Amino acid sequence: MSEQRPCIVDLDQVPPNRRRGGDLRAVLTPATAGSTSGFMGLALAEPGERIAEHYHPYSEEFVYVVAGEWEVDLDGVPHPLRVDQGLLIPPHVRHRFRNVGAGQARLVFHLGPLAPRPELGHVDTETTADAAPAAAPAGVAEAAGGGR
């Protein structure tokens, strides 16, 4: 019998992580919920914001668009993503997300299985500054230096 218990985590309980651009919130993780097979969260991006290119050497990433207009580069090839579309990103596939719409964009992500150690889960292939829009709105450039 499992000792793992159901766990509810509110989005507001998770601090924004802006290290890769946008606002990434890993909501259900080993640390927040005791998950053992993967983690799930929400990515939020304002118009023109990007999530810098990276890949996951150990995990598949499942993405589901819940709001806005996204464009994702998969190994350098751009693909549009719209509301109610899902995307499976296999391990080792480089990916970068851009909000190409006029309003806030949101997508749910899940990665699994977990990497052997958290620091091995993501491999950045560009810096946030490289992924930033040419004319970032006030506050975006400052946020890019901090936080996931």
Interatomic CA distance for residues 45 and 51, integer angstroms: 8
How many alpha carbons fall within 13 Å on the CB side of residue 36?
Answer: 5
Question: Contacts for 129-132 with beta carbons within 8 Å, 24 or more apart?
Answer: 130/52, 131/20, 131/21, 131/50, 131/51, 131/52, 131/53, 131/96, 132/21, 132/50
CB 59 within 8 A of CB 91: yes
125's tokens: 């292939």
pTM: 0.84
pLDDT value, residue 144: 31
CB 66 within 8 A of CB 106: yes
Task: Indicate the burial class of 62 (C-beta count within 10 angstroms; 0-12, 13-18, 19 or more).
Answer: middle
Interatomic CA distance for residues 40 and 29, integer angstroms: 7
Q: At residue 140, what is the residue type?
A: V
pLDDT value, residue 128: 72
Ordered per-residue pLDDT tens for the chain, 148 residues: 567 899 999 999 999 999 999 999 999 999 999 999 999 999 999 999 999 999 999 999 999 999 999 999 999 999 999 999 999 999 999 999 999 999 999 999 999 999 999 999 999 999 876 555 443 333 333 333 333 3
pLDDT value, residue 81: 98
